[in-house]
Amino acid sequence: APVEETLVLVKPDGVARSLTGEILRRIEAKGYQLVDIRLVHADRDLLAKHYEEHQGKPFYEPLVEFMESGPVVAMRVAGDRVIEGFRMLAGTTDPTTAAPGTIRGDLGRDWGLAVQQNLVHGSDSQESAARELALWFA
Ligand code: DAT
Ligand code: MG
């Protein structure tokens, strides 16, 4: 079987805080392979497709506004069970309570910032990964 791939995004807070290198370092240190990478200033159309599962939720508008507030770094990352594995590296959604040792737990901030400023996105299933990789690496 071909090796599994996932979409990782370094969100605008991660890019603005110059954490792209630290996040990629953790991905590479784990043994995952960087297959493609690009800096993208996403527009609303791309973000609406990316976050279509969250449309209508109370946090959807602030989330999209945040994601279009600055450039993001999109990465195509490959590895054995990388979809689940990267989400373990990232930690739980809310950085306030994400475990130490994870990207969100070690680097995420709780200075009254909204939970959407949690540094990274990782696809959550093989279906999501295929759909999201096609969007960001069209
Ligand atoms: P994850 O990024 O851990 O996969 P998700 O897919 O449930 O989380 O949500 C997408 C993003 O939306 C998440 O990274 C941050 C934001 N978000 C999720 N739940 C939220 C909430 N209850 N309040 C504010 N933002 C939220
Ligand atoms: Mg998600």
Ligand 1 neighbours, Cβ below 6 Å, are: 54, 59, 63, 93, 114-116, 118, 121, 124
- Residue 121 is a catalytic residue: yes
Span 90-110, average pLDDT: 93
Q: Judging by beta carbons within 10 Å of its beta carbon (0-12, 13-18, 19+), is residue 73 exposed, middle or buried?
A: buried
Residue 23: CA count within 13 A, CB half-sphere: 32
Ligand 1 probe mutation, 57, 59, 96, 124, most atoms within 8 A of CB: 59
75-79, 105-109, 123-127, range with the lowest pLDDT: 105-109
Report the C-alpha gap between 94 and 79 in whole angstroms: 25
Note the pLDDT tens digit of each residue in 45-84.
Answer: 999 999 999 999 999 999 999 999 999 999 999 999 999 9
Å from CA of 61 to ligand 1 middle:
12
* 129 within 8 A of 20, measured Cβ to Cβ: no
Which amino acid would we find at residue 42?
Answer: A
- In this structure, are residues 120 and 9 in contact, taking their beta carbons and an 8 Å threshold? yes
Q: For residue 105, which amino acid is it?
A: G
Q: Where is 22: in which H helix or E strand? A: helix 20-30
Q: Which of 7, 10, 60, 116 maximizes ligand 1 atoms within 8 Å of its Cβ, making it the mutation to test the pocket? A: 116
| pLDDT at res. 13 | 96
DSSP annotation of 106 reads H
CA angle 96-47-82, nearest 5°? Answer: 60
